[in-house]
Structure 1
Amino acid sequence: MNRLSSVLLRLFQSVWSFYILKKNHLLFVTGALLLLAGGYILFHARESATTAPVHADSTPALQLPEGGSIVDGRIVHECKDGDTAQKLMRLYYSHSRIFVRDDLKEALVRENSALSSRHGCKKGDLISIPEPIIEPLKNRPLQMTGPIRAIYLRGENAVPGRLSAEVRRMKRVNANSVVFDVKDILGVVNYKSSVAEVEKYRRHPAPIPDLPKMIDYLHRNGIYVIARTAMFQDENLSTVRPDLAIPDRNSPTGRLLFKGRPLWVDPGHPEVQLYNLKIIHELVQLGVDEIQLDYIRYPAEGDLSGVSYFQVKNPLDKTQHLKEFLAAAWILTRTTDVKLAVDVFGVVAWGEEADRNSTGQRLEAFAPYVDVVSPMLYPSHFNRGFDGFGQPADEPVYFYKVGNQKVREMMGANVIIRPWLQAFKWRVSNYNESYILRQIQGSDAGGGEGWMMWNAGNEYDVVYRALAGERTVELVDHIDPRSSEKVN
């Protein structure tokens, strides 16, 4: 609790100074509410002496569809004209533990003689829903003892059929975690949210049909659930709320554009932060194991000469805004066993002021407010000549070993370092199973605890082959010194 007390004190000092110096009433009120919430958490935690895992109840199951009722502990549907197996599957998907939709449809037909896959059922027929969910799901964060070995999936690939197929492949090679997009870099929230603003601003359908049920399915399979949410690169929010976009005097629209699109919102704006905090709070309630914050930074690409940011007069102000946001998110996760993680540019581990100034990512400032840091140390993302290497992409051992060590120096001993690994061939001379294993070994040698595989297209054949034949590979500084000639 000392750590929480310290955070609350820092938040109070920051909020009060903003109020005194800038008379920003909205920020002051928002901060005061967060402080009150944090104070309640602190008091409640001190009063509660229990060793049981802390969790939050998931959102209750939806009300039964018309025609549905609970009879002797079963869910029963009374058929109407036009009811088919497909229709009943859709209506009752959230009320059955059967995860794959086609499997539920087959079970409905198999267990109900009155229901035909071709002709449906007759008016008045009673259909029993297989493996019913009677009580609200209560997802609890898993208590994992070993390193996390994760595979990343886009939101549209976290749908039941594809996800279950991926889980089968994962379990064959002892991968034990899924990272999936709850909010992607376009700002699409991939599940139906109870946050009013999310649904008000929605312009895209939500592909995940039932997030609590998905979490329950993954937990029953021993899979650690990491909810990745892109913070401040959010084209959807920037489009529907242009007042929250980053102003740019050089832009024809007055907003910062990348290839003609308004991809970013202002990271320091109180409404932007509050919108994301509401999503984080909902994820805590749903019972994910870890909330991973990506794009927890300011833009660093393109022509930024004409931009201005909310209450940023110097680069340290960027870090301050990000730090205060992280502190608020950290408080929201302290009532449960949910971990808070951040993704950071790999290059910021080298501490170059130009990178820290542009992004606002100063790892030592983030350290008190996160449980996990995930540096994106993809070797291909370091330019030719970086640290003297002619082909950085061909140096997986070096960049993961040294990168993790540098992150540890900045973050201290209390934060888990779990890097993103490069599961794609861009710029790599010989992308194969050995390349995957060398990244893992380099990360382990640098103090990494587990890993996460990134492939934007979610194509992991090389990864699964590597893990299936996982073996000890000699740890060397270079894969092939001839292809990675040092640059003087």
Structure 2
Amino acid sequence: MDKKALALLFYWQNKGIDTIVIRIMTRFAIGIVIGAGIAGFLAGGMYFYFAKSDQGDFSFPFSIKNPLAASMKESTPEERAAEALARSRNIKGLYMTADVAMDPGVGASRLRENLIKLADETEINGLVIDVKEVCGPDYDEERLKKLIEELKTKNIWTIGRIVLSKDASQIDVHPEWYLTRKAGANSGANECARKAHIRAARPDGKKASVNFWRDRRGGYWMDPAHPEVHAYILEFSKRMIDMGFDELQFDYIRFPSDGDIENAIYPAYDGKTPKYAVMKEYFEFLNKNLKAHKPEIVLSADLFGYAAIRAGDVGIGQRVDDVGDNFDYISFMTYPSHYYNGLHLPEDPTRGLPALRYDAVQARTNPDIVVLRTLQVARDFLDGKISTSSFRYITTLSATTSTTTISAIIEQKSRSRARLRPWLEDFYHEADATAGRPSGAKKVRMQIDAAETVDNSGWLLWSAANVYTEDALKKE
């Protein structure tokens, strides 16, 4: 046996295996320390190299291939828009007032938390939050951002509600935007007297001495044809997009509908151009500029329920023909209690449904039928199954009913990509119950089921008090 073998044998016999392991581990640790030092030296050298670069270019002077990074490319605007639309499908939302959303008080906080709780525990997955109401912009930036962030962490779809034509906040600083009065005095109190804090002030503190026209409720109206009004709404809408809303919903997208309109003077509208043409131009302006600002922003519009079932613009510029191409969703206000003249519809030959002749009481007694038939007509029109919004069904070359001439168009073509997401009523329950009509959870559920039968693109519940009928909602 040579000397090396004898030495190793002697080592094993006298030191034992434990000692050897300890020595090996010690040398391994020393190796790690030395390796770390070398790595640190190299890293420092690289930093010195890049920091001293004249161009401040921190790209490596050699190629490093990362298959994972190469496969992850930034999505296109079109892809982001498509993804947002996919996420917006089947939103079931509740309306939240600006006061409930912004007020830190106990009462408002309790209501706000309850709405969020409903979204946590039921089928509700969206909230429509007032940020600009009939009196003007009404929000606290810090609180609104915090609320939106909270809702997003809970995967709740956020919709900012923006009132367009009705706005009292600029009467002192921009009186030239508003309708004025030819003669006579306004009836009724100022609708926005309690919201004086959101009224923009002039530097000199003076009030405008103008005889503004006001509607029956005492509300002020901006001229929807005024280009500066368009710019004002656009800039506000962009701010709301930047606040983080998933969707913007526009309400009062029309000319005034009540009050002594014959005494109103428009500063920009010429009185000759069809009102629907004015609104169409307005819609196109908003769509083009807001989608350019953020391609994935979803846009929706609120329309009277009657706009779905009447031809033309009903005298206020709201025409389904013009809305559908400029908004992703149309939210008809299909409140059964608001069909003051009833619901009159011709026969639906495609579905085999009879003509409908409801008066106002019958409309409230049959909330599901009102929602169903209204949305069916709207959907058929948008899908090109009706030649105009006056119910000319495309079924035969020539036919006549007692109220409508049916005129066929051979080629059916979809008019709009817009989906229907109606407003449903969650109010007037006591009056309905007293009259023996469907009320409470039954009434709300009847409307929901009807809405889901037609389009199944979601629905929204309206309660001005922000108190909702939880028993009508499915648990999740």
TM tier relative to shorter chain: 0.5 to 0.7
> Does structure 2 conserve the Cα–Cα contact (< 8 Å) formed by 1:182 and 1:191?
no
Residues 408 and 260 of structure 1, relative CA distance in 2, 3 Å threshold: closer
Q: Is 1:329 matched with 2:332?
A: no
441, 459, 466: which one pairs with 1:451?
459
> Does structure 1 conserve the Cα–Cα contact (< 8 Å) formed by 2:91 and 2:458?
yes
Q: Write the letter of the residue equivalent to 1:466.
A: A
User: SS where residue 183 of structure 1 aligns?
Assistant: strand
Please report how far the alpha carbon of residue 143 of structure 1 lies from its aligned counterpart in structure 2 after TM superposition.
5.8
Residues 415 and 226 of structure 1, relative CA distance in 2, 3 Å threshold: same
Q: Write the letter of the residue equivalent to 2:155.
A: G
Q: Is 1:243 matched with 2:192?
A: no
Please report how far the alpha carbon of residue 238 of structure 1 lies from its aligned counterpart in structure 2 after TM superposition.
3.3
Residues 186 and 145 of structure 1, relative CA distance in 2, 3 Å threshold: closer
Partner of 2:364: 393
Q: Write the letter of the residue equivalent to 2:119.
A: M
Partner of 1:416: 419
Partner of 1:431: 439
Q: Is 1:169 matched with 2:118?
A: yes
Distance of 1:243 and 1:52 partners within structure 2: 39
157, 162, 166: which one pairs with 2:100?
157
Q: Write the letter of the residue equivalent to 2:151.
A: L
Distance of 1:350 and 1:260 partners within structure 2: 26
Distance of 1:365 and 1:49 partners within structure 2: 31
Partner of 2:334: 377
Distance of 2:241 and 2:419 partners within structure 1: 20
Partner of 1:64: none
Please report how far the alpha carbon of residue 309 of structure 1 lies from its aligned counterpart in structure 2 after TM superposition.
2.6
Distance of 1:256 and 1:383 partners within structure 2: 25
462, 469, 472: which one pairs with 1:466?
472
State the Cα RMSD in Å. 2.6
Please report how far the alpha carbon of residue 341 of structure 1 lies from its aligned counterpart in structure 2 after TM superposition.
0.6
Please report how far the alpha carbon of residue 275 of structure 1 lies from its aligned counterpart in structure 2 after TM superposition.
0.8
Please report how far the alpha carbon of residue 384 of structure 1 lies from its aligned counterpart in structure 2 after TM superposition.
4.7
Partner of 1:407: 378
Please report how far the alpha carbon of residue 360 of structure 1 lies from its aligned counterpart in structure 2 after TM superposition.
0.4
Partner of 1:38: none
Please report how far the alpha carbon of residue 313 of structure 1 lies from its aligned counterpart in structure 2 after TM superposition.
4.3
User: SS where residue 370 of structure 1 aligns?
Assistant: coil
> Does structure 1 conserve the Cα–Cα contact (< 8 Å) formed by 2:343 and 2:370?
no
Residues 251 and 53 of structure 1, relative CA distance in 2, 3 Å threshold: farther
> Does structure 2 conserve the Cα–Cα contact (< 8 Å) formed by 1:251 and 1:257?
no
> Does structure 1 conserve the Cα–Cα contact (< 8 Å) formed by 2:375 and 2:451?
yes
- TM superposition score normalised by structure 1: 0.60
User: SS where residue 342 of structure 1 aligns?
Assistant: strand
Distance of 1:319 and 1:452 partners within structure 2: 26
Please report how far the alpha carbon of residue 333 of structure 1 lies from its aligned counterpart in structure 2 after TM superposition.
3.0
Please report how far the alpha carbon of residue 285 of structure 1 lies from its aligned counterpart in structure 2 after TM superposition.
2.0
Distance of 1:268 and 1:410 partners within structure 2: 27
> Does structure 1 conserve the Cα–Cα contact (< 8 Å) formed by 2:160 and 2:245?
yes
Please report how far the alpha carbon of residue 380 of structure 1 lies from its aligned counterpart in structure 2 after TM superposition.
0.5
Q: Kindly, what percent of the aligned residue pairs are identical?
A: 26
Residues 448 and 186 of structure 1, relative CA distance in 2, 3 Å threshold: farther
Please report how far the alpha carbon of residue 154 of structure 1 lies from its aligned counterpart in structure 2 after TM superposition.
0.2
Q: Write the letter of the residue equivalent to 2:174.
A: R
Please report how far the alpha carbon of residue 296 of structure 1 lies from its aligned counterpart in structure 2 after TM superposition.
0.5
Q: Write the letter of the residue equivalent to 2:99.
A: E
Q: Write the letter of the residue equivalent to 1:343.
A: D
Please report how far the alpha carbon of residue 146 of structure 1 lies from its aligned counterpart in structure 2 after TM superposition.
4.7
Q: Write the letter of the residue equivalent to 2:322.
A: A
Runs of 5+ unmatched residues, structure 1 = 1-47, 56-139, 193-208, 471-488
> Does structure 1 conserve the Cα–Cα contact (< 8 Å) formed by 2:183 and 2:263?
yes
User: SS where residue 222 of structure 1 aligns?
Assistant: coil
Residues 172 and 303 of structure 1, relative CA distance in 2, 3 Å threshold: same
Distance of 1:215 and 1:362 partners within structure 2: 32
228, 231, 240: which one pairs with 2:161?
228
Q: Any residues of structure 2 matched to 1:274-293 within 5 Å, and which?
A: 274-293=231-250
Partner of 1:109: none
Please report how far the alpha carbon of residue 422 of structure 1 lies from its aligned counterpart in structure 2 after TM superposition.
0.4
Please report how far the alpha carbon of residue 315 of structure 1 lies from its aligned counterpart in structure 2 after TM superposition.
6.7
Q: Write the letter of the residue equivalent to 2:76.
A: T
Distance of 1:145 and 1:261 partners within structure 2: 36
Distance of 2:277 and 2:296 partners within structure 1: 26
Please report how far the alpha carbon of residue 49 of structure 1 lies from its aligned counterpart in structure 2 after TM superposition.
6.5
Q: Is 1:183 matched with 2:132?
A: yes
Q: Write the letter of the residue equivalent to 1:169.
A: L
Please report how far the alpha carbon of residue 164 of structure 1 lies from its aligned counterpart in structure 2 after TM superposition.
3.4
Q: How many residues in Structure 1 have an aligned counterpart in Structure 2?
A: 319
User: SS where residue 144 of structure 1 aligns?
Assistant: helix
Residues 408 and 143 of structure 1, relative CA distance in 2, 3 Å threshold: closer
Please report how far the alpha carbon of residue 366 of structure 1 lies from its aligned counterpart in structure 2 after TM superposition.
1.8
Q: Which runs of 4+ in 1 moved over 6 A?
A: none
Partner of 1:342: 301
Q: Is 1:267 matched with 2:224?
A: yes
> Does structure 2 conserve the Cα–Cα contact (< 8 Å) formed by 1:142 and 1:219?
no
Distance of 1:434 and 1:302 partners within structure 2: 35
Distance of 1:382 and 1:282 partners within structure 2: 36
218, 223, 234: which one pairs with 2:151?
218
Please report how far the alpha carbon of residue 141 of structure 1 lies from its aligned counterpart in structure 2 after TM superposition.
6.2
> Does structure 1 conserve the Cα–Cα contact (< 8 Å) formed by 2:77 and 2:295?
no
Distance of 1:228 and 1:310 partners within structure 2: 26
Runs of 5+ unmatched residues, structure 2 = 1-73, 186-209, 345-356, 383-414
User: SS where residue 323 of structure 1 aligns?
Assistant: helix
Distance of 1:51 and 1:338 partners within structure 2: 11
User: SS where residue 261 of structure 1 aligns?
Assistant: coil
> Does structure 1 conserve the Cα–Cα contact (< 8 Å) formed by 2:159 and 2:249?
yes
Residues 351 and 278 of structure 1, relative CA distance in 2, 3 Å threshold: same
- The structure with the largest alpha-carbon Rg is 2
> Does structure 2 conserve the Cα–Cα contact (< 8 Å) formed by 1:170 and 1:176?
yes
Residues 393 and 435 of structure 1, relative CA distance in 2, 3 Å threshold: same
Please report how far the alpha carbon of residue 413 of structure 1 lies from its aligned counterpart in structure 2 after TM superposition.
4.7
Distance of 1:376 and 1:315 partners within structure 2: 29
Distance of 1:239 and 1:379 partners within structure 2: 38
User: SS where residue 370 of structure 2 aligns?
Assistant: helix
Deviations 1:347-387 (A, max 9, x none): 1111244xx24210111112211111100010100125432
Q: Is 1:440 matched with 2:441?
A: no
